[in-house]
């Protein structure tokens, strides 16, 4: 890994889509990589980071901040680059960006059966909180973007 940088160009987009499809797979339209990227970029908050190895994106983290709490999303590391500390570097980078914005608490969600990821976050100081995660999809906003030329 050479650097962590702001997501910034069409090459990043192609690499991020490939990475997310490799790491996450997708079963629902609201998680489609192109749609998620477009929605994040529309916010223009500067909280979308990529880890680069040469010219290739090998990791990502999206962060969000609403003035009260911060959130981490889409933490992904390419399988060939795992177990080298890259995930921790991405998390720390996002934490630093949120801290600079005044964030007092950072939240994240993981699938409850993913023990490996749970252990990873625990090693970084995160703990399970007694909460119920609820969600509601706004179907009218889940519109697939037209096929992008990049």
Name the pTM for this structure. Answer: 0.87
Domains and CATH numbers, the chain: 3-131 (3.40.630.30)
The predicted pLDDT at position 148 comes to: 43
The predicted pLDDT at position 145 comes to: 56
The predicted pLDDT at position 149 comes to: 45
The predicted pLDDT at position 74 comes to: 95
Q: What is the mean pLDDT of each run of 10 residues along the chain (150 residues)?
A: 91 95 80 91 97 96 96 96 96 98 96 93 95 89 58
Smallest Cα–Cα separation from 50: which of 82, 85, 96, 19? 19
The predicted pLDDT at position 140 comes to: 86
Q: Are 148 and 34 in contact (CB under 8 A)?
A: yes
The predicted pLDDT at position 150 comes to: 42
């Amino acid at each position: 890994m050479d650097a962590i940088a702001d997501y910034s160009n069409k090459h990043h987009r192609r690499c991020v889509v490939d990475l997310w499809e490799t790491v996450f797979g997708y079963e629902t339209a609201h998680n489609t990589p192109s749609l998620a990227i477009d929605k994040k970029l529309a916010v223009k908050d500067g909280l979308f980071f990529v880890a680069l190895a040469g010219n290739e994106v090998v990791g990502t983290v999206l962060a969000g901040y609403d003035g009260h709490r911060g959130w981490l999303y889409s933490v992904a590391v390419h399988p060939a680059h795992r177990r080298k500390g890259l995930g921790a570097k991405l998390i720390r980078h996002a934490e630093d960006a949120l801290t600079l914005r005044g964030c007092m608490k950072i939240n994240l969600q993981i699938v409850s059966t993913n023990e490996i990821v749970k252990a990873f976050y625990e090693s970084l100081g995160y703990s399970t909180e007694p909460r119920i995660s609820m969600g509601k999809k706004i179907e009218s906003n889940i519109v697939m973007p037209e096929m992008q030329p990049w």
